[in-house]
Amino acid sequence: MLIETIKIDDMAGPRWSEGGATQPSPYPMETLMALMNGDSGSPQRTALAAIWRAAGGDDRLCRSVAFHGEGDLPSVFAVSALAAAAVAAAGLAVAEFRETAFGHRPPVTVDQRLASLWFGTSVRPRGWSLPPAWDPIAGDYETRDGWIRLHTNAAHHRDAALRILGTAPDRDAVAAAVRRRDADGLEAAIVGDGGCAAAMRDLAAWRRHPQGEAVAGEPLLWVEALEPAGDIRAPTLAERPSVERPSVERPLAGVRVLDLTRVLAGPTATRFLAGFGAEVLRIDPPWWDEPSLLAEMTPGKRRARLDLRDPGQRERFTDLLSQADLLVHGYRADALDRMGLGREARQRLRPGLIDVSLDAYGWSGPWRNRRGFDSLVQMSGGIAAEGMRRHGGDRPRPLPVQALDHAAGYLLATAALRGLTRRLVDGRGSSWRTSLARVGTLLTELPLPAGDGTLRDADAGDFADDPEHTAWGPAQRLKPALTIEGSPIRWDRPAGPLGTDEARW
């Protein structure tokens, strides 16, 4: 198998001079290039140029995107600009795919207000309620020398934290136990026992940290073109007579997406793809659930369960993979390899596969296999500390939304679509990777917006006129933030619980 690495970025990062000494630039390569090329008229434009350039896109296409909508999420960072840019990049990738498939590239428009609201929640139940988003133990705790965040939504992560602390599942008892510990030591102990925690570091400390240095040297998107040996190629949709045909209205109809992701970033990507007609099959292990997120993240998808540790069920998965166009996954770097499903094995199973993946803390460095979530990366990467410092507060001040997750999701969708577009041209598969930490770097280096940081809460005019059916009852869904002429976003299946469908195409 030939694997050709496409160097989208200078992996060493740009350099700059200060006081006669050459230092790493405070801007990542994509952001610096956007600023140097005159894309700094607004943080939205800067972010869009950085994302699109990282995906290997033609810079000129960025100018065809129109932004409108007022208001910024309250933050010391350009969160709303990142939201608008991430949605715009995914929309631009749809338009490019449509142009390649049908010969015409439609206009792309993004409403920044709606994009900001979608980075929170897009669904408003009617006559029923969503379960709590957080476990009672999850949250920020003061340590002997700083702060730490415990992520305990998953039972095994909560159990690990409680074992290390030697306390009952009571928030006051946990707080008392945490106050007796140093943040770094407690973080290491919980992570070492299979849990999830992050000590709060400021931006300078993160940039000095070995993992912060590793992330700073990574591209926003790692991109590799994959070409199987011989004449094996991906079959076209026309060679699969049982699947739906793509059209201008549903450009991704017939594209099969195997979704192995959970908790926001990956599900955001596959929800977006389903909105343009892709057939998304989400696979979860038998024990997993995320009830507070299902109404938000499952519309348009079929949802099945497989235990990939079981040889028989793993064989069923490989059969599904052999018929997929896209694989989207958020496993740690070595997880699929341990099951005999490493990258080369996946490409042998499905020549021409578009392989898109995400991790928390980057793909190099000592934490490359560390478990993590958006709120933890904000603590590790200096975002929560910078919010506290700039507001003069006395406790961590994270972003007002899970912006790293949502932005990474739209980057994954952008990558998937760019891979599909390139495959239309040359028949080759490709591998794409990003991380929450690298998205965090992009956010922290964006120029701040000129606005006053006020975004009105969602009101009736922000929601679609017609109610949406879900498995739990009716709901209102926000209007799409993205408009692509001739290709409206809509989902063909209602949101519902996990594991209600068979594991088949």
User: Please, what is the Cα angle at 53 between 385 and 440, to 5 degrees?
Assistant: 10
Contact (CB, 8 A) for 81 and 42: yes
- Please list the helix, strand and coil fractions of the chain in percent, rounded to the nearest 5, in that order: 40, 15, 45
Domain 23-131+209-365+398-484 falls under CATH 1.25.40.10: no
> 7 falls in which pLDDT band (50, 70, 90)?
very low
The mean of the pLDDT values for the chain is 90
> 458 falls in which pLDDT band (50, 70, 90)?
very high
Token pair listed for 168: 């009952």
Condensed to tens digits (0 to 9), the pLDDT of residues 323-350 reads 999 999 998 777 888 888 888 899 899 9
Condensed to tens digits (0 to 9), the pLDDT of residues 226-244 reads 865 344 444 555 555 456 7
Q: Where do runs of H (alpha helix) occur along 119-165?
A: 155-165
Closest CA to 263 of 368, 342, 156, 375: 375
pLDDT for residue 2 is more than 80? no
**What whole-number distance in Å separates Cα of residue 169 and Cα of residue 217?**
40
Condensed to tens digits (0 to 9), the pLDDT of residues 23-51 reads 344 445 555 554 444 445 699 999 999 99
> 245 falls in which pLDDT band (50, 70, 90)?
confident
Lowest-pLDDT choice from 87-96, 155-164, 330-339? 330-339
Condensed to tens digits (0 to 9), the pLDDT of residues 383-439 reads 999 999 999 999 999 999 999 999 999 999 999 999 999 999 999 999 999 999 999
What is the edge-to-edge ordering of all strands in the sheet holding 279-284? 2-6, 222-227, 429-435, 354-359, 326-329, 256-260, 279-284, 301-305
Condensed to tens digits (0 to 9), the pLDDT of residues 255-277 reads 999 999 998 999 999 999 999 99
**What whole-number distance in Å separates Cα of residue 192 and Cα of residue 190?**
5
* Residue 283: C-alpha distances to residues 25, 341, 429, 487 (Å): 41, 15, 22, 27
**Domain boundaries of the chain, sorted by first residue:** 23-131+209-365+398-484
